[in-house]
């Protein structure tokens, strides 16, 4: 059998099929603008029948956290309420992302990292700043103690909460998976985790036209953060209204995921699929054959730039970069290698492998 290079193997995971919804073959973008149904989770009185049968994104209370593995496998995302996180630092997101261009320059990582300090992607209307946990959050940040303290506190609490979600995959009472599914290192070590403050605004777009309308540089006319899956283990998110966040379930259905009061949205990253693949199978070697009913697939999501500014906060649980996330025909693949190789695949950011096998 001819040995396929790791990158080709990873590319296969992101390959789309004609019958999968709304994913084009664009070079730079992973998807066509999707039709964006407003399947928001609130149960409105309006019973015109359009969305009445659509399942909403589930809401779990902290006391029901043991249901997280089955919920993530089935629904690809859930809102969590009853947690004890501090208020989301949306004000801090606005504070840092509306600072002057001179200040932003001081926040850029010296080697251009896009997961540490300030970065922007003006062609899709967004800019962001990643907290740097090293040196207790004092690097590439504002010289403002309140800002630093609030930011550090939310990051620390957010990571602890995501690690608690991971621990439910390994506990005896877990509804789906066997002990040891998520490596202890992920649960005990902050690894290469980060927290991101994001700002989305039509005013960032290069050919910004006044609110009266007009085309943007985006040929689709819908500026957006392209559909993608996150590299890491789990992501926790919250945002201002109007949201513009959409997630795909594993059947390819698209849901609006607006912020809910006192709730955070939790989604899965790429590594959950490695951790929860079928026993004896490997995602890189076996593709969809490694995906079972209880396998948690990475959550595909995208953000459409709203007409007014949007701020969001995302906490990413990531393992240490040298942790082995997959061992198969390619040998040991570390998280660093996984992220590097995936980052080089252009226009193929949506991991869809195996989704068709699990549609009810």
Q: Two tokens at 230?
A: 């996150």
Taking the complex as a whole, how short is the minimal distance between the CB of residue 235 and Fe ion, in angstroms?
A: 6
Q: Which does 303 bind (CB under 5 to 8 A by kind): Fe ion, ligand AKG, none?
A: ligand AKG
Residues of the shown chain interacting with Fe ion in the complex, contacts defined by CB under 5 A:
230
The Cα–Cα gap between 116 and 195 comes to 9
Q: Two tokens at 186?
A: 């992920």
The Cα-based distances of 206 to 124, 203, 209, 218 in angstroms read 9, 8, 9, 10
Residue closer to ligand AKG by CB (options 13, 237) is 237
- Name the residue with tokens 């998280």: 335
CB 16 within 8 A of CB 347: no
SS3 category, 67: helix
Q: Which does 72 bind (CB under 5 to 8 A by kind): ligand AKG, Fe ion, none?
A: none
Residue closer to ligand AKG by CB (options 237, 325) is 237
Angle between helices 6-14 and 335-343 (to 10 degrees): 70
Residue closer to ligand AKG by CB (options 77, 290) is 77
SS3 category, 156: helix
Residue closer to Fe ion by CB (options 230, 341) is 230
Taking the complex as a whole, how short is the minimal distance between the CB of residue 57 and ligand AKG, in angstroms?
A: 13
Taking the complex as a whole, how short is the minimal distance between the CB of residue 314 and Fe ion, in angstroms?
A: 7
Buried b (16+ CB within 10 A) or exposed e, 312-329: bbbbbbbbbeebbbbebe
CB 54 within 8 A of CB 75: no
Q: Which does 93 bind (CB under 5 to 8 A by kind): Fe ion, ligand AKG, none?
A: none
The Cα–Cα gap between 250 and 263 comes to 22
Taking the complex as a whole, how short is the minimal distance between the CB of residue 159 and Fe ion, in angstroms?
A: 16
Residue closer to Fe ion by CB (options 106, 113) is 113
Taking the complex as a whole, how short is the minimal distance between the CB of residue 4 and ligand AKG, in angstroms?
A: 28
Residues of the shown chain interacting with ligand AKG in the complex, contacts defined by CB under 6 A:
196, 198, 230, 237, 239, 245, 301, 303, 312, 314
Taking the complex as a whole, how short is the minimal distance between the CB of residue 196 and ligand AKG, in angstroms?
A: 5
Taking the complex as a whole, how short is the minimal distance between the CB of residue 225 and ligand AKG, in angstroms?
A: 6
Closest to 220 in 3D by CA, of 1, 24, 14: 24
Q: Which does 312 bind (CB under 5 to 8 A by kind): Fe ion, ligand AKG, none?
A: ligand AKG
Give the CB-nearest residue to Fe ion: 230
Residue closer to ligand AKG by CB (options 116, 196) is 196
Residue closer to ligand AKG by CB (options 198, 233) is 198
Angle between helices 90-97 and 145-170 (to 10 degrees): 130
Q: Which does 198 bind (CB under 5 to 8 A by kind): ligand AKG, Fe ion, none?
A: ligand AKG
Cβ contacts of 356 within 8 Å, gap of 6 or more: 17, 19, 20, 288
Q: Which does 330 bind (CB under 5 to 8 A by kind): ligand AKG, Fe ion, none?
A: none
Give the CB-nearest residue to ligand AKG: 312
- Name the residue with tokens 């240490």: 320
SS3 category, 134: helix
Main-chain phi, psi angles of 7, to 5 degrees = -60, -40
Taking the complex as a whole, how short is the minimal distance between the CB of residue 278 and ligand AKG, in angstroms?
A: 27
Q: Which does 284 bind (CB under 5 to 8 A by kind): ligand AKG, Fe ion, none?
A: none
């Amino acid at each position: 059998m001819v040995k396929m290079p790791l990158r080709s193997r990873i590319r296969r995971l992101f390959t789309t099929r004609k019958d999968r919804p709304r994913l084009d073959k664009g070079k730079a973008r992973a998807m066509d603008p999707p039709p964006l149904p407003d399947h928001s989770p609130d149960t409105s009185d309006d019973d015109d029948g359009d969305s009445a049968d659509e399942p909403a994104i589930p809401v779990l209370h902290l006391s029901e956290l043991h249901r997280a593995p089955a919920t993530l496998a089935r629904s690809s995302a859930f809102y969590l309420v009853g947690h004890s996180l501090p208020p989301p630092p949306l004000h801090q997101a606005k504070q840092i992302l509306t600072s002057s261009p001179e200040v932003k320059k001081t926040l850029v990582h010296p080697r251009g990292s896009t997961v540490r300090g300030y970065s922007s992607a003006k062609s899709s209307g967004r800019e962001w700043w990643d907290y740097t946990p090293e040196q207790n959050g004092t690097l590439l940040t504002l010289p403002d103690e309140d800002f630093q303290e609030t930011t550090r506190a939310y990051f620390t609490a957010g990571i602890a909460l995501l690690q608690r979600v991971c621990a439910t995959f390994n506990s005896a009472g877990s509804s789906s998976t066997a002990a040891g599914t998520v490596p202890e290192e992920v649960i005990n070590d902050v690894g290469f985790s980060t927290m991101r403050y994001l700002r989305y605004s039509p005013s960032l777009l290069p050919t910004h036209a006044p609110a009266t309308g007009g085309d943007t540089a985006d040929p689709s006319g819908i500026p957006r953060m392209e559909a993608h899956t996150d590299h890491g283990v789990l992501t926790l998110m919250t945002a201002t209204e109007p949201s513009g966040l959409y997630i795909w379930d594993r059947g390819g259905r698209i849901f609006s995921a607006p912020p809910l009061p006192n709730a955070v949205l939790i989604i899965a990253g790429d590594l959950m699929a490695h951790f929860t693949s079928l026993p004896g199978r490997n995602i890189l070697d076996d593709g969809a054959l490694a995906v079972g009913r209880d396998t948690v697939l990475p959550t595909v999501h995208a953000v459409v730039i709203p007409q007014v500014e949007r701020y969001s906060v995302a906490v990413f649980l990531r393992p240490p970069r040298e942790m082995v996330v997959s061992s198969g025909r390619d040998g040991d693949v570390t998280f660093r290698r996984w992220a590097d190789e995936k980052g080089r695949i252009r226009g193929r950011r949506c991991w869809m492998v195996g989704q068709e096998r699990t549609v009810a």
